[in-house]
């Protein structure tokens, strides 16, 4: 899964306030602009979103491309109901809890095409594994936290939404098989180490971790000790 970093400029007018986020779940959106591109929607956020000053952490395009607009540990402005002042408190609460993913769609019904859908499943699985989210409880629609008809197709077709979450769970379960687990310490494709999950506990290989941190690991046969040197 490839993620392209195109971070929004810092500042409220770009939907990026810099407020710290401790994520507790994922909110899935649709862009509501049939046929538009991920880059186009990202630039719309950058340019003030028509005065709404909204944003999302990720945007997934029609070819399955994934753009990172706001780092996961910063609040994005994505989970309100409208621009009206009476919804400000609700939006602030939601934005302080959720990672937001906007999705492009080819038609007015809002259904994601196969490429967008596949990338969304993979991205949600990755985020759930990294943050320890429960797929069934912590992956929600914009509709679920505000009542807004977003993502519209998956609000009108709740069975499709449930199928979507099942697909995420399949991906999570596959990734959590001991032979497939790899951990990204900084969630930025910088350091990946081998590991596995057993009885709900995550284990990593100490030698692999130490070597990735720049240490040399060896065996002292005389004293029967593991030696770790910088």
What's the whole-number average pLDDT of the chain?
86
pLDDT tens for each residue of 209-228: 776 666 777 765 555 567 77
Pairing of strands 25-28, 225-229: unpaired
**Neighbouring residues of 159: CB distance < 8 A, sequence distance ≥ 6:** none
Task: Say yes or no to pLDDT of 201 above 90.
Answer: no
pLDDT at 189: 47
> Which residues sit opposite 11 in a β-bridge?
16
pTM: 0.76
Question: How many angstroms separate the CA atoms of 105 and 112, rounded?
Answer: 5
pLDDT at 204: 72
Task: Say yes or no to pLDDT of 122 above 80.
Answer: yes
Burial of 50 (0-12, 13-18, 19+ CB in 10 A): exposed
pLDDT tens for each residue of 13-31: 999 989 999 999 999 999 9
């Amino acid at each position: 899964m490839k993620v392209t970093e195109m971070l929004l400029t810092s500042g409220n007018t770009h939907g990026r306030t810099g407020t710290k986020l401790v994520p507790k779940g994922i909110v899935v959106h649709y862009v509501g602009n049939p046929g538009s591109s991920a880059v186009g929607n990202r630039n719309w956020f950058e340019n003030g979103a028509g005065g709404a000053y909204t944003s999302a952490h990720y945007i997934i395009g029609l070819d399955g491309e994934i753009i990172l607009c706001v780092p996961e540990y910063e609040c994005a402005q994505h989970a309100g109901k409208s621009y009206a002042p009476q919804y400000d408190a609700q939006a602030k609460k939601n934005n302080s809890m959720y990672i937001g993913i906007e999705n492009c769609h080819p038609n007015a019904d809002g259904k994601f095409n196969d490429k967008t859908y596949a990338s969304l499943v993979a991205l949600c699985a990755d985020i759930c594994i990294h943050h320890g989210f429960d797929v069934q409880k912590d992956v929600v629609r914009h509709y679920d936290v505000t009542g807004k008809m977003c993502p519209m197709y998956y609000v009108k077709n709740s069975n499709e939404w449930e199928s979507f979450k099942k697909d995420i769970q399949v991906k999570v379960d596959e990734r959590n098989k001991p032979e497939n687990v790899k951990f990204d310490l900084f969630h930025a494709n910088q350091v990946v180490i081998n590991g596995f999950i057993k009885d709900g506990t995550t284990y990593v290989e100490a030698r692999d971790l130490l070597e990735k941190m720049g240490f040399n690991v060896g065996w002292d046969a005389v004293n029967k000790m593991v030696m770790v040197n910088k």
